[in-house]
Structure formats: structure tokens, C-alpha cells
Structure 1
């Protein structure tokens, strides 16, 4: 999604892609927007300048590095790209939860100062996407109305925000510190709460009927909503305790999950009466399936959790 939107909105950008499977990528990526909040913008296509599994070939000379991978993979990626980072580069991720700042400081070490690097992260991914064909096209489902960004050193956050606003054409708001990312009530509590709520009584063996599987978000049930709420209550209690002990600590982004979703998807939610209904009626959360795999590749009608 990032390649398609950045390339489409900024056609003069040269976009290089570091991938373990470079042969699977086409010369460009198309993002289809039908059914999303961005439908009136039409489809977006971004050209790929170069795709390789060689970090030196991809990262050398890059001014902005965007890591678009799960939290547990970021440390190894940072270590892989470190020798090839250019003086003054911005090195960040589209999803800062998982302690990205700590991973970056550990992996990049003295190079942050010696190469004048800026570490940054967005609080949320710019949009929810669903792959159609890997390395070729995707569906954009839920674009955010605005983004939030933190940086290290902190004084560069306004510059980073301006760069990312230019990249995505989504307003990027500066945030005072990475702890706002780490404690943000988002995917790290939504996904465990939803998965536990639905699969808590599963025997880990009996397959499900693929045609009867609910959608991940829009079919959220009461049990899952309650689990997510319990986790959010814990985060809010942690925030309260931190602020009580450190009164100068600024955590403006750690707001209740229902308020956060309504803010990020303003205009896309038709019923805000409960957390469950916020998920059920948010077009930005629509059409996302559970991560299931077929029991038998020849017969996709029976599935289990991936």
C-alpha cells in the first residue's frame, strides 16, 4: 500500500524495495480503492525503481527508509541495513508499537549520532490493506484521516511530520515521545482480544467451514469486544500510574480505544453506541478476513487458524 500511494502521489520519488522474495515483485504496485473512504481518488499505482534482497543495493543513498514489517522482525532489518545508511537519513517504521525506538537505538548504536540519523515511527499504519497478488496489487480498505509521528531526536519531529505528510498526503501530527506509540491501544490488544474471544473454546484440531467464517472486525462479537476492553482498561491504568509518578510525562495519545478508533476513522463509523458496534459499522474495518489456512490445499472449504 505504501509503495502504491507514495509512488502515485509523488511520481518523482525513486522507490527501492528490500524483500526476501524480489522475484515475486512486479515493476509497479496498484492499490484499488473501491469500497474505501478513498474511493473517489480512484486507483493508485506506484512504480518500483529497484527490488532486491541485497540491503546495500537498496538502502545506499536513500534519504527515507520506511520499515513495513511486523514488530518482531524490525531489529534484524535494522541490523541488516545499518552499514549502508546514508548521512542524515530518516529511518523509521509505519507502525511504532513494539518499542521501535529501543530496537533502533540498540541496532544502530553510535551511527545515530555519527551519521546524524533521525529515528521515527508512525503511531498507526496509514491504512488497512489486503493483498490480492503479492508484489503486484492490493485493496486499500481503511485509510486514516490523520497520522501521528514521534522522532529521536525529539526536536526533529516537526520536520519528520512534514516529510510524511508530503509522502502520504495525510496530515501527520507530532507526538511528544515514543511511549505514546508503545502504549497506544491498537493492534497489540485488538488482535489478541479478537482471536481469544473467537477461538477460546477451540480444540486446536476441528476445522471450520470456510464459508461460515466471520470477518475479523466487522463481525466482532460481544466476547471479543469485552476482551479488547479489558486490555484497554489495563493500558489506561498503566498510563494513570505513570502520570501519577512522573507528572511531567506527556501521554496525550493514550486515550480509550473507542475514542481512538472514532477519531482515526471519523466519518467512516455509523454507530458509536458501543465498542462492538464501532467495529461492526466502521467501513475502514470492513472486508478483513480471519487469518485462516486450508486443511487441504486441494479442498479450501475446511480451514484452521494460521
Structure 2
């Protein structure tokens, strides 16, 4: 088998980790495309004088393993790195996906495998919309979340994996042109033995398994009754979840389950059996990290992979104010909650929890997505909901399978 050429798109935590892991594997070439400012130049210059290291931490044994290997090239020029790439992995936030789709489009080889990791809800809609006929010659994959919790310790030098999921679900839309490498096996080689990658029955399952709906309900529960006064201390995010936050989070997850069941009952082609409740997902994917699996609240509170992670805040004069411009809202509402709301509308499922959270989010963001329970707001073109792309029925959704 020829060398697997992996192109990692992005420059953040996920890109650093994926590029480092791919570079470390045998018979694999790792490339990076980052379009943000001078990231490519900075990363390239740093690797001239330094190693590139992926630190793999094990919270259970309190040990760490260093994997040292450099990507072959880090570039801002898609013409340099896209041709010849077998796997093209999107690891940047969803708001940046359109820019990267536009950048890679002229240079894509037939048979390329495009992977959203995570794709976030609406990834396939946007992929087909921007790549057009090019998309038909590519295999399109999308995973429900990142494989691990990771953070950059030193840009262009060191990234740390804090916790790795036990398994990860991903969808595959096969291309007309068969790729030279098996999509799922190739991605597994990049990541290593964990997480174990599993294929969903269709691209809609990851949308309803999505972790893009986790952040908005937690933000809503914490800040909906906030008095506007600055805090003396930054509150914990996941491990600070209380019964109120767990109620809304579980309620939204219930609505995703109901949408999945409605799809399957209305169209037998849509096997939605992989869609499980958020609580069960945490018990499964963070099995080694969670010490109390009693319920959703305890799963979050006792997850070692979330140790010390806090609410996004803005500091001023030693006091702290919530940062409502952080990705937990600006990313996960238009590319998460609005998309799942759109799917629920198509399925005919009522979503009182989603609606309550969404109304607060859009008011806080000064956006208008939902009006009178419908996705007809003036800012809907900024989202990836199916209605934006002309998908209004279940048959429409099935048509791209």
C-alpha cells in the first residue's frame, strides 16, 4: 500500500494533535494547512529549531508519554499541500469551514477523503453546497466530536492529550470515485488504537449524537438569572454543572432522541439505532475517566478529563465577567442547536427545552434565528440548518445518502 498522505486543516488544539500523531505513524506523511494570519510561518520556523511533541497523559496512572515527530510541511498555500492528499481532516471551528472548503476546492484529487473532526451538524450540507460536483468524487466523513480533550502547551512545539475517548462514532457518504485507502481504517491508523472508530448508519446520526448541544444549555443554566455583577472567582464549566444545568442538558438530549425515533418511524431507510442519550454517551466514551456514573450531573462533575475547565470569562481588575462571544455560543448555536432544531421541525418533534435555551442564546448573541418556533429569523443564513440549504422534508435529507 502506498504511503498515506494526511492533510490536517487548522492550527488549534485538534490540528496540533492530529498532525503530530500522523507524523508519528509509519508509512504516513503529515501535512498542515492553516490559513489563519501567520500561523503557518510561525509553526514552520519553530520546528526548524525544536522538536514537535504530542504528550499523551493518563489521568488514571498519572503518567505521560511523549511522541516526537514533525509534520512534513505546514503551509498557508492550499496549492502546495492539497494535491496528493488522501485524507483531508478539518479540525478548525465550524465557522471557519467555508473558508477551508473554498480553499481546497480547486486542488482536490478525485478519491480524496474529506473528514470533519468534529464535522458539527450541517457539515455535509455545507460541503455539498460549496464543493458542488467536486463533492461527488470525494468520500465525506464526519465524526461526532474530537477524539480527545487536548490543549496546546506551546504553539508549534507541544500539545497535550488530557483524555482519550474509548470510542467515536462517524458517518461516511461514499464517493463515486473509490478512494485508494479505506476511509475508516485510514483514520484509525492516524489516531492509533483509541478511540475505536465506529461507523454510523447514516450522516444524520452524528448530528443527533452531537456534543455541539452540550455547551449552550450549560451556559443558559448558569447565566440566565445572572444579575450582571462581576464574579470574584471563575466558575467550573462541566464539573460545575448543577441539577438545573443537568435538567436542561438532559431535556435537549431527550429531544434529540425523539427526533431520531421520528425519523426512523417515518422513513425505514434511516436507521437511527446508534443515537443514544447523552448520559449513556458519557458513560461509554469516558468510561475510564468518570468516577460516578449515577446520572448526567455526576458524569460531568466527576469526569477527570474535564479537571479544572472553567466558564469562558473576561477578566478586569481582578473580577470576572462571562464571555458570551466565546465559541460555546457563537459556534455551537448556529452550527449545533439551530441545526438540531431544524431537524426536529422536519421530524415534527416538539422541542420545549431546545426552544427555551435557543431563545436565550440568540437574545444574548443579538441574533435572530427562531421566530414563533420556526427558523425564519433574519440571521438564519449564518447557520447550517437544513432549511437554509433547501432541505425541508425527510426525503430531502435522504436524497444525499
**Which of 212, 221, 240 lines up with 1:219 in the alignment?**
240
- Matching residue of 1:15: 31
Residue 184 (str. 1) matches residue 209 (str. 2): yes
1:81 aligns with 2:104: yes
CA distance in 2 between counterparts of 1:286 and 1:10 reads 33
One of 251, 267, 272 as aligned partner of 1:230? 251
Q: Determine the C-alpha separation between the residues in 2 that align with 1:218 and 1:130.
A: 18
Any idea what SS the aligned residue of 2:149 has?
strand
Of the structure 1 ranges 78-87 and 25-34, higher mean CA displacement relative to structure 2 is found in 25-34
Task: State the distance in 2 between where 1:132 and 1:202 align.
Answer: 33
Q: 1:112: Cα distance to partner?
A: 2.8
Q: What's the CA shift string for 1:16-35, capped at 9, x where partnerless?
A: 23231223323254333335
CA deviation digits over 1:203-245, x for unaligned, max 9?
Answer: 45x3322xx2232212222221111111111111212222221
Q: How does 1:139-218 map to 2 (within 5 A)?
A: 139-153=160-174, 159-169=182-192, 170=194, 171-186=196-211, 188-204=212-228, 206-209=229-232, 212-218=233-239
Deviation at 1:106, TM superposition (A): 1.1
Q: Secondary structure at the match of 1:14?
A: strand
Contact 1:24/1:135 (<8 A) preserved: yes
Taking the aligned partners of 1:38 and 1:13, their CA distance within structure 2 comes to 32
Distance 1:36 1:275 in 2: 21
Tell me, in whole angstroms, the C-alpha distance in 2 between the residues paired with 1:76 and 1:183.
Answer: 25
User: Which of residues 117, 134, 138 in structure 2 aligns to 1:111?
Assistant: 134
Q: CA separation of 1:147/1:154 partners in 2, compared to 1, >3 Å: closer, same or farther?
A: farther
> What CA distance in whole angstroms lies between the structure 1 residues aligned with 2:18 and 2:234?
29
Match of 2:30, SS state, is coil
Counterpart in the other structure of 1:253:
274
TM-score (normalizing by structure 2)? 0.68
* Residue 123 (str. 1) matches residue 148 (str. 2): no
CA positional deviation for 1:99? 1.3
Instruction: Kindly state the Cα deviation for residue 172 of structure 1 after the two structures are TM-superposed.
Output: 1.5
Match of 1:5 in 2: 21
* Partner residue in 2 for 1:305: 322
Q: RMSD value over aligned CA atoms? A: 2.5
Aligned positions, number: 296
Distance 1:178 1:38, change over 3 A: farther
Task: String of CA shifts for 1:76-134, please: whole Å, max 9, x gaps.
Answer: 21112100112321111111222111111111111133xx3211112221101123333
Q: Which structure 2 segments of 5+ residues have no match?
A: 1-16, 324-401
Do 1:215 and 1:288's aligned partners in 2 also have CA atoms closer than 8 Å?
A: yes
Question: What is the TM-score of this pair, normalised by structure 1?
Answer: 0.87
Deviates more, 1:195-204 or 1:226-235: 195-204
Match status 1:281 vs 2:302:
yes
Residues 128 and 257 of structure 1: CA distance in aligned 2, closer, same or farther (over 3 Å): same
Cα deviation code 1:159-202 (max 9, x no counterpart)? 2111111110132112111101111142x221001111111122
8 Å CA contact retained: 1:194, 1:228: yes
Match in the other structure for 1:34? 57
Question: Partner residue of 1:102?
Answer: 125
Structure 1 spans left out of the alignment, 5+ residues: none
How many Å separate the matches in 2 of 1:185 and 1:4? 26
Contact 1:149 1:175 in 2 (8 A): yes
SS at match of 2:236: coil
